[in-house]
Amino acid sequence: MHIPLLLLLASICASVQAHDLWITRDGSLHTLHYGHERSGHAGVKVIEYKPEQVRQALCVSTAGRELAGENGHTWPVTLKGECAASYFVFSTGYWSKTPYGTKNLPRNEAGMVIDSWLSVESVKRIDAWGAALARPLGLELEIVPLDNPLSLRPGDKLHLAVYSAGKPVAGATVAYFGHPRGVTAADGRVNITLRQPGPQLIQASIETPLADGKADRLVQASVLQFELAP
C-alpha cells in the first residue's frame, strides 16, 4: 500500500519528537527546558528533568570558538556566558517497550522486550551571527543554517543542513514546529519556509541501528532555535 510522504514523515516525527527541548535567554543566562510548550505537542508544558541527563553545555562565539561558560548543576540546567550560540546535549537514556509498558531501562534489564532504543537529543539557540556558524560544531546531531537566519522574515526560505559528528546526514526528517517539512538530501541539505515571526523551532531526527545489546536503535533528535523579526 502506498503511504503519502507527509503522512509517513508525520509518523516518524511523532515517534521521535515526543518531547521538546528549548533554551530561554535572560541576559547572559541560557536555561534548558524540556516538555511540550513549543511545538504544540499535547502534554505537560514543562517537565522537571535530572541535571545529570544533560551531557554537555556549550557556549560558542560568532567565530565558532568555544567560550568559557559557567554551568549550573541543578534543575533547570543553565549556562552563563556571552554566547552567540548556546548548545545543550540531553539524554533520557535507554528505553524498552514491553508487553507491560515502556520502561526506562536497557533491553538486557527490561525482561520481555518488543522494541528498545537509546534517546539522545540536542538543542542549539542562535542569538548572534557569524559566518563560522554556517559550519557544524562537530558534535552530536546538529542543524546548521547555511546563511544568517536572523536576517530572514516570514515567508523567506531557510537553507540548512543536518550533520552528525561533523558529517552531513542524508534522510533526516526535518520539521517546523512539529510539522514535517522534508527530508535531507545526500549532502544533508534541505530548504524550509519560515511561516511566522518570533521564536523559531526547527527539528531534525534520525534513527540508526545499535548492536550494543542494550538497544535496537539510536534515536537522535536535534532542535535549532532563533528569533525572527516581524
Ranges of each domain in the chain: 5-228
Give dist(CA 141, CA 164) in Å, integer: 4
Q: What is the pTM of this model?
A: 0.87
Starting at the earlier edge strand, list the strands of the sheet with 78-80: 20-26, 29-35, 78-80, 70-71
Q: What is the pLDDT along the chain (230 residues), one digit of tens a residue?
A: 333 344 334 444 444 445 789 999 999 999 999 987 655 555 567 889 999 999 999 999 999 999 987 777 789 999 999 999 999 999 999 999 999 999 999 999 999 999 999 999 999 999 999 999 999 988 889 999 999 999 999 999 999 999 999 999 999 999 999 899 999 999 999 999 999 999 999 999 999 999 999 999 999 999 999 998 87
**pLDDT, tens digit (0-9, with 9 covering 90-100), for 162-184:** 999 999 999 999 999 989 999 99
Q: Looking up cell 511540550, which residue turns up?
A: 36
Q: Which helix (H) or strand (E) holds 10?
A: helix 5-16
**pLDDT, tens digit (0-9, with 9 covering 90-100), for 105-145:** 999 999 999 999 999 999 999 999 999 999 998 888 999 99
CB-facing half-sphere around the CA of 229: CA atoms within 13 A: 6
